[in-house]
């Protein structure tokens, strides 16, 4: 059973952001400092990518490990309450992510995903890797 009241849980969940999360802002700032110019959260593209780099024909998704079901990740734990609900929701999120990536690649976009846990472990290394991938074959 949940250790907070239903109203408190609702308040907590309402504060979870879908865009402009702290980790997204850090990634965007790091890319901007490295000279990349981009658009953010382009609604006309499937999956509403977090970062769109038209010059490089590239997209970046900054994924939270919990919400996107990061496999084999120590930061991902399925809640102990309403397990079926959360399992189904996270599974649906992962399937939707894969479908959107297929659609974007079919449109000719190069798609990159950076995971919250990896950014927290070694931010600059992950940004270095992302920069190299974006600039490769550009």
In the chain, what's the furthest Cα-to-Cα distance?
A: 52
Tally Cβ neighbours within 10 Å of residue 93. Answer: 16
Q: Helix axis angle, 123-135 relative to 22-33, nearest 10°? A: 60
Q: What's the pLDDT at 76?
A: 81
Residue 87 sits in a domain of what CATH number? Answer: 3.40.960.10
More confident residue, 112 or 86: 112
Within-domain flag for 114: yes
Within-domain flag for 11: no
Within-domain flag for 10: no
Within-domain flag for 4: no
Q: How many helices (H) and strands (E) does the chain have?
A: 5, 4
User: Which residues form the domain of 24?
Assistant: 18-135
Helix or strand run (H / E) with residue 53? strand 51-53
- How much is the pTM? 0.84
16: left (phi over 0), alpha (psi -120 to 50) or beta: beta
Q: What's the pLDDT at 34?
A: 96
Q: What's the pLDDT at 130?
A: 97
Whole-number mean pLDDT of the chain? 89
Within-domain flag for 12: no
Within-domain flag for 2: no
Within-domain flag for 9: no
The region of weakest confidence among 6-10, 26-30, 97-101, 121-125 is 6-10
Q: What's the pLDDT at 13?
A: 62
Q: How many domains does the chain have?
A: 1
pLDDT band at 2; cut points 50, 70, 90? low
């Amino acid at each position: 059973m949940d250790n907070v009241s239903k109203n408190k849980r609702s308040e907590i969940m309402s504060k979870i952001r879908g865009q402009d999360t702290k980790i997204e802002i850090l990634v965007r700032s790091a890319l901007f400092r490295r000279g990349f110019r981009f658009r953010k959260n382009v609604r006309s593209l499937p999956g509403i990518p977090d970062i769109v780099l038209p010059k490089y024909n590239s997209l970046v998704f900054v994924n939270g490990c919990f919400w996107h079901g990061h496999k084999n990740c120590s930061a991902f734990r399925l809640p102990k309450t309403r397990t079926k609900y959360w399992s189904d929701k996270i599974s649906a999120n992962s399937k939707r992510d894969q479908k959107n990536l297929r659609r974007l690649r079919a449109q000719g976009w190069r798609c990159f995903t950076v995971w919250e846990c990896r950014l927290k472990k070694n931010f600059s290394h992950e940004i270095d890797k992302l920069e190299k991938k974006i600039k490769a074959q550009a």
